[in-house]
Amino acid sequence: MNRLAHESSPYLRQHADNPVDWWPWCDEALAAARAQDKPILLSIGYSACHWCHVMAHESFEDAGTAALMNELFICIKVDREERPDLDRIYQLAHQALTRRGGGWPLTVFLTPDDHLPFYAGTYFPREARYGMPPFAHVLREVRRWWDERREEVRAQNSALAEFLADHGRGESTPVALNDAPIRAALEQIAASFDPEFGGHRGAPKFPHCTEMELLLDLDKPKQAEFTLARMADGGIHDQIGGGFARYSVDERWEIPHFEKMLYDNAQLLPLYAGCGRADVTHGILGWLLREMTAPSGGFYAALDADSEHEEGKFYVWQREEVRALLDADEYAVVARHYGFDRAPNFEGKAWNPIIAMPLEEVAAALGIAPERAGALLGGARKKLFAAREQRVRPGLDDKILSAWNALAIAGIARTARALSAAPLLGLAENALDNLYNAAWREGRLHARADADAARFPAYLDDYALLLDALLEMLQCRWSERDLAWAIVLAEGLLERFEDRQRGGFHFTAHDHEKLVQRPKPFTDEALPSGNGVAARALLRLGHLVGETRYLDAAERALHAGFSAMSHMPLGCCAMLRALHDFLEPRTHVVVRCDDDEASAWHKALAHAPRRVDAYFIPRDAGKLPGTLAAQVHESGGVAYVCRGTQCEPPLRDAEMLAFD
């Protein structure tokens, strides 16, 4: 009996008609495995994953393979976006068992009593190919290993359990915190940098957003800006509809894996706004508003890579199709600009648009004014977009995830400040209100912001990223609710997630379901490390409200993660950003004034350096903690400027506000 039809995850519901007797991860499934002494086949994926669809079509929809799975195992299907705790644990276990990186779909076989994995892989084909055995062979051999060599399995699991426990501990280092890991990261970035295409050398290529943020924090923008420019010209950037795909399969950013994730675009948005690429920025915003915004104001999770069972079919073109949609002048511009005049770049039979020739060069080649070329391109894009909208759309994963929404809220807030575009804030305000109304329940945060929120207690990423988002929103407009909420979230990090013995923050809360490991993540993945975001946000909030407990917790987290930063600096860029903020504290400016007095202060802060946080608080605001509670009586307002715990005398003239 397949039990996925009524699950809240679109990914699980995609498998509801499989002949596999799928269970969701639940106590009943685990109890069934124990009672029947059957190993668990745990399959982890997500709705936008191309190879997850391939394995589902080849094996999970095949009656013969499904019958074998049902006979030999208790089969559990997990959405990695809904249960990132399980995904983290079993990805790490896969790495330990196979000595190579994991991915999705993740296929792990667990013992029925202690849920430790004894065999793991990712995609398995139905028939032998790609140097891999057929899935049916794997199923039989894994079950035979469990039945006939159980003591060997137990011995391996004992060693694995010890490894998982040690890996999740994150011991505090006794050495004084210093910038050695930051310097090592810069050396590694320089060594891996691709001077022709940006990003890291080789393929596949991912947008390492936290790494670019670190470079900008350190006032070393050249490599980040070059990478962003090359990405914007590539096929990873949707040239017709805006937004970015997950990654590029080639070194030129030309052919993406076509899934579009909220978290990638949320992180890229402020990077492009900050480097002055308004065109790309507005493309991402348009995509968010048009395709990813729920009626509640929250943001959906992802768009599938596939449509009509083909990867990229929604996004790629045939040359004659394009020619038929455009007039001759439009096609002359588009063919050169997007590369339709070249050989097909997608699987030898279709074109994925790229910036093959800059528009100025196109204009020169055609002997027309650049303004005329721009107008023709704009008209052509509208026609291509309208035609593309008539195609069968990729599947939408409509989960509203708290951590991913917080990333988007923070990105929009930063973008609104960078572009001086206050109207953008409405998009972020609606999403933030949705988190408050749907994910915040009885003083606790949940990992989803929809009707199913109560089933999913929040993880470290949810608390840390929402705290960061609130601090970004408070710099756009003052809100007593949001300041109070930020403080409650900070207290929640300390009370529910902190490792009080060794420092740092666990990925799951103290009262979370007991699993085979309790991770304490310091390395970045698709999202920045929760420990790095938490430490950095606690430093910012602690300095803002004068709460030393937050500063102390951040320092303990940095000590706990210092070994990871030292051994894998390039993998710990979020932690390195927090370390930089600890060693060289950010400047924060608090301006107390009435609205009609704020313009001069805004003007003075318009060109403040990147590492300056500025908060405008109404003169009559109440319920302010610490130094923020200072009363202001002078007309014209007053500014308090602090760097870390060192504050200057109050400034009563905006012209006195200057930065070295």
pLDDT of residue 367: 97
Q: What percentage of the chain exceeds 70 in pLDDT?
A: 98
Q: Residues in the chain with pLDDT < 50?
A: none
> For position 174, what pLDDT does the model report?
73
Chain centroid offset of residue 494 CA: 23
Handedness of CA 601, 606, 608, 614 (dihedral sign): positive
pLDDT at residue 645 in the model: 87
Report pLDDT for 658. Answer: 82
pLDDT at 548: 96
Tokens of 87: 């995904």
Strands 74-79 and 40-45: parallel
In the DSSP assignment, the letter for residue 453 is G
Q: Which amino acid is at 314?
A: F
Question: Which tokens go with 455?
Answer: 């089933």
For residue 527, the number of C-alpha atoms closer than 13 Å in the C-beta half-sphere is 28
User: What is the structure's pLDDT at 630?
Assistant: 64
User: Distances in Å between the alpha carbon of 36 and those of 29, 74, 111, 304, 591?
Assistant: 11, 9, 12, 37, 66
Is 486 exposed, middle or buried (CB count within 10 Å of its CB: 0-12, 13-18, 19+)?
buried
Task: Judge if the upstream peptide bond of residue 204 is cis by omega within 30 degrees of 0.
Answer: yes
- Please state, in angstroms and rounded to a whole number, the distance separating the CA atoms of residues 385 and 562: 48
Cα(354)–Cα(252) distance, integer angstroms: 10
pLDDT at 633: 61
Phi, psi of 246 (to 5 degrees): -65, -50
521: preceding bond cis by omega (within 30 degrees)? no
Neighbours of 383 (CB within 10 A): 15
pLDDT at 88: 96
**pLDDT tens digits for range 505-530:** 999 999 999 999 999 999 999 999 99
Average pLDDT of the residues of the chain: 95
